[in-house]
Amino acid sequence: MRFFESEKHKEFFGKPSYADHISVKEKFIHAKYAEKRFIHKVKDTTHLLSVAEQLWEGVRANDKKAVYRLIVVYQADVNAVHGEEASPGSDSSSSFNPQSESEEHCIDEFLDGCSLLHLACQTADIGMVELLLQHGANINACDSRGQTPLHHSVMRGRTATSKLLLARGANPRIADLEGKTPCHLVSELALNDVEILSLLKVANR
């Protein structure tokens, strides 16, 4: 029998056998999946910058398994912003810039102020967007141009992602620095998706 120690309660749990009572099995399942007692969370902040870089790369590569591990095990910041420099003594995971200096100038304008959720709306699938939202990503975060993840998903014609964001409470009335809201973009791009139009109508009430 394999035993696990809960750091929170200092209790020992044995992985239940087939013959164990159902209450024992339920207790084990709850401790493992609901309370995540058996996941070792890393408290050392020495390598948090590299963790932030890994999180960025994981989202860009649409590697949900890696992203989940970084969030749960290393407690990486899901609201990290590209281009921000960490202030002395601050959590390094709150900002990141994984590109080399030679590549920086090519992408700074495009990614400046973007959060991981912005990036997911550009490069990943709806599952990655859902994962970030479930772990506290700011759905209405604005980049340096005042654009939200919903702006990004609408501009790229990612209708499934746009629907998810709207269903989760994204504000379609937030205007960017040019005064354009996601609603304006939907009209400009002549998007005729019935579900998106319906969600926009509900959100605008």
Q: 120-161, pLDDT tens digit by residue?
A: 999 999 999 999 999 999 999 999 999 999 999 999 999 999
Contacts of 54 (CB under 8 A, 6+ apart): 66, 70, 76
Could you tell me the residue range of the domain that residue 171 belongs to?
A: 144-205
Q: Which of 78, 157, 160 is nearest to 126 (CA)?
A: 160
The predicted model gives 7-15 an average pLDDT of 49
Q: 19-41, pLDDT tens digit by residue?
A: 776 676 567 666 655 555 555 55
Same-domain check for residues 81 and 95: yes
Output the domain CATH number for residue 44.
Answer: 1.25.40
Same-domain check for residues 77 and 123: yes
Same-domain check for residues 190 and 159: yes
Same-domain check for residues 47 and 134: yes
Same-domain check for residues 123 and 81: yes
The predicted model gives 103-108 an average pLDDT of 44
Q: Is the pLDDT of residue 6 over 50?
A: no
Where does the pLDDT of residue 44 fall: very low under 50, low under 70, confident under 90, or very high at 90 and above?
Answer: low
- How many domains does one find in the chain? 3
What pLDDT does residue 105 have? 44
Q: Sort 128 into a burial class: Cβ within 10 Å, 0-12 / 13-18 / 19+.
A: buried
Same-domain check for residues 15 and 48: no
Where does the pLDDT of residue 11 fall: very low under 50, low under 70, confident under 90, or very high at 90 and above?
Answer: very low
Tell me the pTM. Answer: 0.68
Q: Sort 41 into a burial class: Cβ within 10 Å, 0-12 / 13-18 / 19+.
A: exposed
CA 103 – CA 192 distance, rounded (Å): 37
**Element holding 5 (H helix, E strand):** strand 3-5
* Helix, strand, coil percentages for the chain (3-state, nearest 5): 50, 5, 45
Q: 66-104, pLDDT tens digit by residue?
A: 999 999 999 999 999 987 644 333 343 345 555 544 444
